[in-house]
Amino acid sequence: MAAKIVIGLDGTDTGERALAFAKDLASRMDVCELLVAYVIEWSPFTFQTAEENERRHKRREEEIALATSRIVDPAVAKLKEAGFAATGLVRHGDVAETLNRLSNENGATQIVVGRASSDGFTKRLFGSSTQNLVMHADVPVTVVG
């Protein structure tokens, strides 16, 4: 059975370091698949009109397309060029819950994420999201500095 590593990217240098770490880890295994994931922080718990929901849905689709083309697809392409089996996903949701759910749905054996840098998103990722992920994930989590 192949090992599978979920790599949580955030579009920053720390995400790139997480990607490099996962790549190095996978190179030491006989068979390993890599799943590159980008989670757009989003909460379903807002009350809006039908028109607002329609605009929000369109914005969500645009965000997914942008994250896929700018972050996930280039990372997957680099991994494949290096000979790794790799796929990518972009999802909306709580970062920790979504990465854990993706690891469960895809039979992952580990999650790798980057440590925070100075901008707001990664502070949020390393703050409560990463702490929640480390404390509650169903598989081991590696936080790369």
Q: What CATH architecture applies to the domain 3-144? A: 3-Layer(aba) Sandwich (3.40)
Tens-digit pLDDT profile for residues 47-92: 667 777 778 878 889 999 999 999 999 999 999 999 999 999 999 8
pLDDT confidence tier of residue 125, bands split at 50, 70 and 90 = very low
Across the chain, the runs of DSSP E, i.e. the strands, are 3-9, 32-41, 85-93, 110-114, 141-144
Using DSSP, state whether 142 is helix, strand or coil: strand
Mean pLDDT across the stretch 98-114?
96
Angle between helical axes of 13-27 and 73-81 (0-180°, round to 10): 30
Task: Phi first, then psi: give them for residue 101, nearest 5 degrees.
Answer: -60, -45
Asked if the model's pLDDT at residue 102 lies above 50, the reply is yes
3-state SS, 49-71, equals CHHHHHHHHHHHHHHHHHHHHHH
pTM comes to 0.85
